[in-house]
């Protein structure tokens, strides 16, 4: 009497298998659809209503089954005396079987997502709170006046409106309050026209602002931009003069020779300052003879020792006295045995010498000025120049690599600044101040926008100690490259000005 029945849902082809009983699921669904009045009528005549409803439903199912191709469904009979009991209800063994189909959609249900969002919005509404509200009447101060009870006087009202209207920051208001409460502040001295402050600025010893036109690239700016723009900048000479006339800055600057110390901290502790003729000490007078940095000389390490040849690398300050830093020059006899070939011996007879690489431990020494005997003319052959065969010359450098002595061409060596940056000391009675100018360019974009790239050009004065150079106030702005401006055009006046400063310039320093 009980047969398995499958009901197919066409959209997803989901098959539900269940068992039939005297009161099946179909009758329960039909009974649930009735209204309240029908339910009350069922209580009066339960047997007749149930039989009529069941028979009508089964007749409908039977008609539908006749149209089905399979035709495997049977008719169901329900006696009037049969009543539903606990055994006839669907048991827990009913199963739901899903058959996969390519037409089944995996998209989430929109109704479910909308329901979840509505629940979240309801939760947010529940969490709503007041974060800022006006004071209640009993909390307001008990004051009398025109602005009561909100403000005590007109000063409070005006200051409050001014701060709120112009969005004044806390720091700016604190400074204004300090000015107003200053003992010497007088309200009658405050000018009513802000343009008067422009004239006040011209009274101060401020740096003049210069302007020049530069080319603007159309590839880096919007199409509405012009091809020519104005660049505003300061002069390097004006900045130097301004710094040197500041007693606090001038007294902390160093203008002496390079210093020999155990640990390098300042710029004048490095080799660039020591060996450069433009920063360190360029010459020294010994026994009436003037020797320059970069000269070749003969010297004795100690009294009674043979004379040796060396090159003056720098004139440095060590132990509160001047010393001369020498790079050793070797003779043929000083070369390692494995490098003493017949060819080099013949060249040594023609006056050839050899450099000892300055990176070797004993390549450079510091000697006293008085041990220098005389100057020696020596030529360094960076190329195959034809010179006098009997003159002294250097073509190779001795160095050590992986524990073995080797020779390399002198053109691969470090060149002394005196060879490419010659300097003539000015013959004047005025004091000479040599400045270490560090000019650098910082390219950055405002708001990370390619159309608003803005590069800043700055200078630092290396004569200041590191503690002073590390402060932002000692980074001096020369100017900013306009949006889309050509850096080469912008930097031209600074390069020309630096060349003029290299030649020397007379300034009025410290009165």
Domain assignment of residue 471, yes or no: yes
- β partners of residue 97: 15
Q: Considering 367, 396, 420, which residue would you say is the last residue of a domain?
A: 420
Q: Which residue has the higher pLDDT, 40 or 390?
A: 390
Q: Which residue has the higher pLDDT, 51 or 329?
A: 329
**From 96-110, 328-342, 418-432, the region with the lowest mean pLDDT:** 96-110
Please say if the pLDDT value at position 36 is more than 50.
Answer: no
Domain assignment of residue 122, yes or no: no
CB 434 within 8 A of CB 279: yes
Domain assignment of residue 139, yes or no: no
Please say if the pLDDT value at position 413 is more than 80.
Answer: yes
> In terms of domains, do 416 and 448 share one?
no
- The 10 Å Cβ neighbour count of residue 70 is 7
HSE-up of 439 (CA within 13 Å, CB side)?
Answer: 16
Q: Which residue has the higher pLDDT, 93 or 405?
A: 405
Tokens 């005025």 belong to which residue?
Answer: 430
Out of 79-88, 129-138, 247-256, 298-307, the most confident range is 247-256
> In terms of domains, do 300 and 385 share one?
yes
Give 445's pLDDT tier (boundaries 50, 70, 90): low
Give 139's pLDDT tier (boundaries 50, 70, 90): confident
Torsion sign, CA atoms 360, 365, 371, 373: positive
The three-class DSSP label of residue 323 is: strand
Q: How far apart are CA 223 and CA 232, in angstroms?
A: 23
Tokens coding 410 = 């002198």
Please say if the pLDDT value at position 319 is more than 70.
Answer: yes
Q: How far apart are CA 261 and CA 241, in angstroms?
A: 31
> In terms of domains, do 376 and 306 share one?
yes
> In terms of domains, do 301 and 341 share one?
yes
DSSP 95-164: EEEE---TT---PPPHHHHHHHHHHHHHHHHHT---S--PPPGGGS----STTTTT-SSHHHHHHHHHHH
Q: How many domains does the chain divide into?
A: 4
> In percent, how much of the chain has pLDDT > 90?
44
Residue-wise pLDDT for 101-128, tens only, equals 444 445 555 556 666 667 666 666 667 7
Domain assignment of residue 136, yes or no: no
Q: Considering 399, 420, 441, which residue would you say is the last residue of a domain?
A: 420
> In terms of domains, do 333 and 272 share one?
yes
**For the residues 269-294, what does the mean pLDDT come to?**
91
For position 152, what pLDDT does the model report?
86
pTM: 0.62
Domain assignment of residue 511, yes or no: no
> In terms of domains, do 303 and 395 share one?
yes
CB 29 within 8 A of CB 90: no
In this structure, the strands spanning 283-286 and 258-259 are: unpaired
Q: How far apart are CA 364 and CA 357, in angstroms?
A: 9
Mean pLDDT, the chain, integer: 78
> In terms of domains, do 271 and 241 share one?
no
Q: How far apart are CA 214 and CA 291, in angstroms?
A: 47
For position 68, what pLDDT does the model report?
45
**From 136-145, 209-218, 271-280, the region with the lowest mean pLDDT:** 136-145
Domain assignment of residue 127, yes or no: no
**For the residues 125-138, what does the mean pLDDT come to?**
75
For position 420, what pLDDT does the model report?
87
In this structure, the strands spanning 352-356 and 289-292 are: unpaired
> In terms of domains, do 494 and 381 share one?
no
Give 391's pLDDT tier (boundaries 50, 70, 90): confident
> In terms of domains, do 347 and 446 share one?
no
> In terms of domains, do 227 and 173 share one?
no
- The 10 Å Cβ neighbour count of residue 224 is 5
Domain that holds residue 66: 5-82+92-98
Distance of CA 31 to the CA centre of its chain: 75
> In percent, how much of the chain has pLDDT > 70?
71
Least Cα distance to 354 among 376, 330, 328 occurs for: 330
Q: Considering 420, 443, 460, which residue would you say is the last residue of a domain?
A: 420
CB 30 within 8 A of CB 49: no
Q: What are phi and psi of 466, to 5 degrees?
A: -60, -35
Domain assignment of residue 181, yes or no: yes
CB 374 within 8 A of CB 348: no
Please say if the pLDDT value at position 160 is more than 60.
Answer: yes
CB 56 within 8 A of CB 48: no
HSE-up of 503 (CA within 13 Å, CB side)?
Answer: 5
**For the residues 223-227, what does the mean pLDDT come to?**
77
Q: How far is CA 117 from CA 26, 123, 126, in A?
A: 36, 10, 14
Q: How far apart are CA 155 and CA 149, in angstroms?
A: 14
Name the helix (H) or strand (E) containing 439. Answer: strand 437-445
CB 146 within 8 A of CB 154: yes
Give 203's pLDDT tier (boundaries 50, 70, 90): confident
Domain assignment of residue 197, yes or no: no
For position 131, what pLDDT does the model report?
80
Q: Which residue has the higher pLDDT, 61 or 126?
A: 126
> In terms of domains, do 411 and 437 share one?
no
Tokens 């827990």 belong to which residue?
Answer: 92
CATH number of the domain enclosing 373: 2.30.30.490
User: Which region, left, alpha or beta, applies to residue 310 given φ > 0 means left and ψ of -120 to 50 means alpha?
Assistant: beta
> In terms of domains, do 72 and 37 share one?
yes
- β partners of residue 330: 354
Tokens 């060879």 belong to which residue?
Answer: 419
């Amino acid at each position: 009497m009980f047969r398995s029945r499958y009901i197919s849902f066409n959209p997803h082809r989901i098959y539900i298998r269940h068992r039939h009983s005297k009161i099946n699921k179909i009758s329960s669904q039909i009974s649930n659809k009735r209204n309240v009045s029908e339910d009350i009528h069922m209580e009066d005549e339960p047997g007749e209503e149930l039989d009529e409803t069941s028979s009508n439903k089964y007749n409908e199912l039977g008609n539908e089954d006749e149209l089905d191709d399979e035709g495997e469904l049977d008719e169901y009979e329900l006696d009037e005396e049969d009543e539903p009991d606990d055994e006839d209800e669907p048991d827990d063994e009913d199963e739901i079987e899903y058959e996969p189909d390519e037409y089944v959609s995996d998209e989430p249900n929109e109704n479910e997502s909308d329901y979840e969002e509505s629940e979240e919005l309801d939760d947010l509404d529940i969490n709503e709170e007041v974060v800022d509200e006006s004071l209640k009447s009993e909390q307001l101060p008990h004051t009398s006046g025109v602005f009561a009870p909100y403000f005590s006087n007109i000063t409070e009202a005006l200051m409050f409106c001014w701060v709120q209207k112009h969005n004044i920051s806390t720091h700016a208001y604190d400074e204004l309050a300090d000015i107003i409460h200053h003992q010497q502040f007088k309200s009658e001295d405050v000018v009513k026209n802000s343009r008067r402050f422009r004239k006040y600025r011209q009274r101060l010893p401020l740096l003049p602002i210069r302007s020049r036109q530069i080319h603007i690239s159309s590839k880096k700016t919007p199409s509405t931009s012009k091809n020519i723009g104005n660049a505003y900048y300061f002069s390097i000479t004006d900045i130097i003069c301004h710094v040197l006339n500041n007693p606090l800055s001038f007294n902390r600057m160093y203008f002496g020779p390079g210093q020999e110390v155990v640990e390098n901290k300042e710029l004048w502790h490095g080799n660039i300052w020591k060996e450069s003729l433009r920063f360190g000490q360029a010459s020294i007078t010994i026994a009436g003879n003037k020797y320059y940095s970069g000269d070749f000389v003969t010297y004795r390490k100690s009294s009674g020792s043979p004379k040796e040849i060396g090159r003056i690398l720098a004139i440095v300050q060590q132990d509160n006295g001047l010393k001369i830093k020498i790079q050793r020059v070797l003779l043929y006899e000083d070369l390692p045995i494995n490098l003493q070939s017949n060819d080099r011996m013949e060249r040594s007879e023609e006056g050839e010498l050899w450099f000892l690489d300055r990176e070797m431990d004993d390549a450079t020494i510091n000697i006293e000025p008085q041990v220098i005997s005389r100057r020696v003319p020596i030529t360094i052959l960076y190329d195959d120049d034809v010179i006098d065969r009997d003159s002294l010359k250097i073509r190779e450098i001795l160095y050590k690599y992986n524990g073995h002595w080797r020779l390399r061409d002198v053109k691969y060596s470090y060149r002394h600044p005196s060879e490419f940056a010659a300097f003539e000391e000015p013959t004047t009675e005025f004091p000479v101040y040599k400045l270490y100018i560090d000019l650098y360019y910082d390219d950055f974009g405002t708001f990370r926008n390619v159309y608003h790239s803005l590069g800043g050009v700055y200078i630092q004065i290396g004569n200041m100690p590191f503690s002073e150079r590390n402060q932002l106030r000692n980074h001096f702005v020369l100017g900013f490259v306009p949006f889309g401006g050509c850096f080469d055009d912008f930097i031209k006046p600074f390069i020309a000005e630096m060349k003029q400063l290299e030649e020397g310039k007379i300034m009025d320093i410290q009165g």
